[in-house]
Amino acid sequence: MRHSVNRPPTPDTRDDQEKEPPALKEIISIKLIESGEKERLMELLRERLVESGWKDEMKALCREHIKKKGRNNVTIDDLVHVITPKGRASIPDPIKAELLQRIRTFLVSATPL
């Protein structure tokens, strides 16, 4: 039997066995995206942040930073770098708790018995 020089090498079966299964976080993320739940959760988060005044606070922080640095000396990347940590830290706990509860409820309903 002649072997083709153009044929790719046969994959080693050990490579398939050594691959790790996807992490739980990745599986949850995939399920949320496939079901459309991620988009619904993102919309809920946007609504809650606006209702709580968080969005206005972040807008004020951005304006303050721009005023301090000068309009021509600030880039979007600069704003993102400065504001993101403050924004994440200032999300109200009740909003975080509500989102976490929604994710838990989704996972319970999506998990076959």
Mean per-residue pLDDT of the chain: 86
Confidence tier at 24 by pLDDT (50, 70, 90) = confident
Per-position DSSP letters for 44-69, written without gaps between them: HHHHHHHHHTHHHHHHHHHHHHHHHH
pLDDT digits (tens, 9 = 90+) for 53-104: 999 999 999 999 999 999 999 999 999 999 999 999 999 999 999 999 999 9
Q: Quick check: pTM over 0.75? A: no
Per-residue model confidence (pLDDT) at position 87: 95
pLDDT digits (tens, 9 = 90+) for 5-19: 555 555 555 555 556
- Quote the CA–CA distance of 93 and 100 in Å, as a whole number: 10
Instruction: State the fold for domain 26-110.
Output: Serum Albumin; Chain A, Domain 1 (1.10.246)
H helical segments located in the chain: 13-18, 24-35, 37-52, 54-69, 76-89, 93-110
Per-residue model confidence (pLDDT) at position 49: 97
pLDDT digits (tens, 9 = 90+) for 33-51: 999 999 999 999 999 999 9
Confidence tier at 22 by pLDDT (50, 70, 90) = confident
